């Protein structure tokens, strides 16, 4: 996702999948211990600073949770791309040509509900 590094995205995936607040140690375990504790702590601190996660003191450690769902983050990213493109119509047309039949049907149904 735009604005997230590889490890930040992995950490966000862990938080999105969990559905509950997680401490640094919990995230580290879900990542398979492939990183150092301090690295994961730093990444979570950066994600908090960027507004991707909220944190709450739980005992002596913070518990982290995503500020928005994966779907909301994806929609926000799409909105940023459209707003910054200079030609939202062309971007949407290129996107529309790339969607699968299933995705096209989902879009049609969503548009019909909103009309």
Reported as a single tens digit per residue, the pLDDT across 18-44 is 999 999 999 999 999 778 999 999 999
Q: Give the CB-side neighbour count of residue 81, counting CA atoms within 13 A.
A: 15
Query: What's this model's pTM, rounded to 2 decimal places?
Result: 0.81
93 lies in which domain range? 70-114
Q: How many domains are contained in the chain?
A: 2
Q: Give the CB-side neighbour count of residue 51, counting CA atoms within 13 A.
A: 3
Measuring CA to CA, which residue among 3, 2, 1, 47 is closest to residue 24? Answer: 47
Write out pLDDT tens, residues 72-82. Answer: 998 988 898 89
**What local confidence, expressed as pLDDT, does residue 10 receive?**
96
In a domain? residue 75: yes
In a domain? residue 29: yes
Query: Is there a single domain that holds both residue 18 and residue 61?
Result: yes
Query: Is there a single domain that holds both residue 80 and residue 109?
Result: yes
CA distance 30 to 18: 9
Residue 100's region, left for phi above 0, alpha for psi from -120 to 50, else beta, is beta
């Amino acid at each position: 996702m735009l604005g997230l590094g590889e490890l930040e995205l992995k950490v966000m995936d862990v938080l999105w999948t969990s559905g509950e607040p997680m401490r640094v140690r919990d995230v580290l375990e879900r990542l398979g211990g492939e990183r150092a504790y301090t690295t994961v702590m730093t990444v979570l601190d950066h994600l908090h600073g960027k507004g991707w996660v909220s944190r709450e003191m739980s005992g002596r450690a913070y518990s982290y949770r995503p500020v928005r769902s994966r779907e909301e983050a994806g929609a926000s990213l799409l909105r940023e791309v459209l707003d910054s493109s200079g030609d939202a119509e062309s971007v949407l047309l290129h996107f529309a040509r790339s969607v699968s039949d299933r995705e096209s049907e989902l879009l049609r149904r969503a548009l019909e509900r909103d009309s």
